[in-house]
Structure 1
Amino acid sequence: MSMPLFGIVSGPLADRYGMQMMSRIAAVVLPAGLIVGSFSTQVWHLILTQGLVTGIGGGFAYYSAMAVVTQYFDRKRGMAMRITAAGSGPGGLILGPAFDDNK
C-alpha cells in the first residue's frame, strides 16, 4: 500500500534531486527494510519494516525506473513502458523459487 502512495512524493523529489539520487536512496532503504524486518519480534515490527520501509524503498526504485524509461525513449515509448512494467512479473516468478531455501 505504501509503494503506490509514495509515488506522489517520489516524483517531485526526483524532479528536484535527479534519478541517480532516487536510485541511491532506494538502494539503501529497500534492503534496510528487509534486513531490519528479519529481526522482528512482534507482528507490528514486521508490518512497519516490511510494509512501510520496504514500500517506501520500492516506491523510490520502481517510479525512478519507470521515469527513466520515459525520458530515454522518444519513439516507441509505449512499447518501452510495457516491457519495463512487464519485467516485474517474470522477475518475481523466476527469482522467488530461485531464492527458496526449502530445497
Structure 2
Amino acid sequence: TDMPLGTAMHNIEITRGRGGQLARAAGAVAKLIAKEGKSATLRLPSGEVRLVSQNSLATVGQVGNVGVNQKSLGRAGSKCWLGKRPVVRGVVMNPVDPRMVLFFVAVNIGH
C-alpha cells in the first residue's frame, strides 16, 4: 500500500495468502502503474495490465538469473541432460520419414 508508483516487483500474490503466482520467471519484473481504492494496477512481464488487491504481498525488485537463456551449453550432451531434443527440419528429412505427420493428418481429415 505504501509503494510508490513505478515500483518494480516480482513474486506477486493474486489473492492474499495464496502465495506468489505472478512474475516468477528468471529476469521477470512487474511495475506498479496505479492505485485505486483497495486495488492496485500492475503491468506484468507479458504486457498484460492486471488488478490485484493492495493487501497482497510481493517482493520488491527483479527476479535474478536474467541471462539464463544466453548461457552457452557448450555441447550436445549438456542439452541432452536438460531433456532438450535435437531439432530437425521436415524439409531435410527423407521422404519415407514421418515428417510433419500431425500437420498433414489434421489438414487431410475427411478428404
Larger Rg: 2
Above 0.5 in TM-score? no
Larger helix percent: 1
Larger strand percent: 2
TM-score, reference length from structure 1:
0.20
TM-score, reference length from structure 2:
0.19
Using CA pairs under 8 Å that are at least 6 residues apart, name the structure with larger relative contact order, 1 or 2. 1
